[in-house]
Structure 1
Amino acid sequence: MKKLELHTVVHLYDDIDELDQDSRDLMKEAIVARSNAYAPYSKFTVGCAIKLDDGTIIHGNNQENAAYPSGLCAERVAIFAAGANHPGKAIVKMAITASGIDNKFTKPVPPCGACRQSIAEYEMRQQQPLECYFMGASGNIAHVNSHKELLPLAFDKKYL
């Protein structure tokens, strides 16, 4: 038997003001996106802003449906919009913010498992790291340089 140890590095910032200007601006875009989320059932709003390699910003927010499985998370709304409307453009950075309508989270809220897998697929496809910043409604912000930090054993096309 062999032992495989995985190591993840997550950088933590106290608040949005500690970020560099570009990342701060992108997180502010994610906050705007969160304000337009449609979450009447879960009361949990998520906003995502993606920056493409040409500087284009793409917004995404969670979109719920009474038939729960029919909804879609903010991160996947944004990356699928980028892939559909800007083919061939690399995603260089994304910012995510999440909060309950009644409970304003102050700790970083990471992407769900389905979003991590979808984001990892885009990162593998473009063959370059995709930085990610994530936070609650306010407070601490987490940052990873690559989604490999969030999903180190990602499923990909080599298994198909």
Structure 2
Amino acid sequence: MKEIKIESLLTVYDNLEELPNDVIALMKKAMEARDKSYSPYSNFSVGAAILLENNKIVTGSNQENASYPSGLCAERTAIFYAGAQYPGVTMLRMAIIAGSRNKTTDAPIPPCGACRQSIAEYEVKQDHPIELFFMGEKGKVVKSHSLANLLPLVFDKSFL
């Protein structure tokens, strides 16, 4: 038997103002997308914005359905749209903002497991990391250089 140690390296910013201007702009696009969330059941709205290599920005928001779990998270809405509309264009960076309509969320909220797996699929497919920036409604912002920091033992096509 042998033990292995897996570590993640994340950067934590105290607030949006500490981020580079281009990342602030992307976070603002995620905020705008969050306003388009359809989340009447959970009252938890999420917005995502993806910067593509061609400088296009694709956004998505969570879309719920009374028939749980038929809805779709913001991250997957955005990444699937980017993959469908801009096939072969590298996804460079994703900004995510999430929060409850029932209380103020000031802790960074990372992507759920299903979204991590979906983002990993594109990271592996394009053979290029996707930077992730995520936050609650306000407060600290976390940066991950790659989805691999959040899902280090990724399941990908090499196992199939």
Q: Fold match, TM over 0.5?
A: yes
What count of residue pairs does the alignment treat as equivalent?
160
- Corresponding residue number in structure 2 for 1:91: 91
Q: CA deviation at 1:146?
A: 0.5
The superposition leaves residues 40-83 of structure 1 with CA deviations (integer Å, 9 ceiling, x where unpaired) of: 00000000000000100001000000001110000000000000
- Corresponding residue number in structure 1 for 2:136: 136
- Corresponding residue number in structure 1 for 2:26: 26
In structure 1, distance between residues paired with 2:71 and 2:107: 24
- Corresponding residue number in structure 1 for 2:150: 150
Q: Which runs of 4+ in 1 moved over 4 A?
A: none
Q: CA deviation at 1:2?
A: 1.1
In structure 2, distance between residues paired with 1:2 and 1:102: 46
- Corresponding residue number in structure 2 for 1:35: 35
User: For the aligned residues, what is the CA RMSD?
Assistant: 0.5
In structure 2, distance between residues paired with 1:103 and 1:52: 33
The superposition leaves residues 78-114 of structure 1 with CA deviations (integer Å, 9 ceiling, x where unpaired) of: 0000000011101000000000012120010000000
In structure 1, distance between residues paired with 2:30 and 2:150: 19
Query: Could you tell me which amino acid in structure 2 is paired with residue 23 of structure 1?
Result: V
In structure 2, distance between residues paired with 1:103 and 1:111: 19
Which ranges in structure 1 are unaligned for 5 or more consecutive residues? none
In structure 2, distance between residues paired with 1:9 and 1:142: 10
Q: Give the TM-score normalised by structure 1.
A: 0.99
Which ranges in structure 2 are unaligned for 5 or more consecutive residues? none
Q: Give the TM-score normalised by structure 2.
A: 0.99
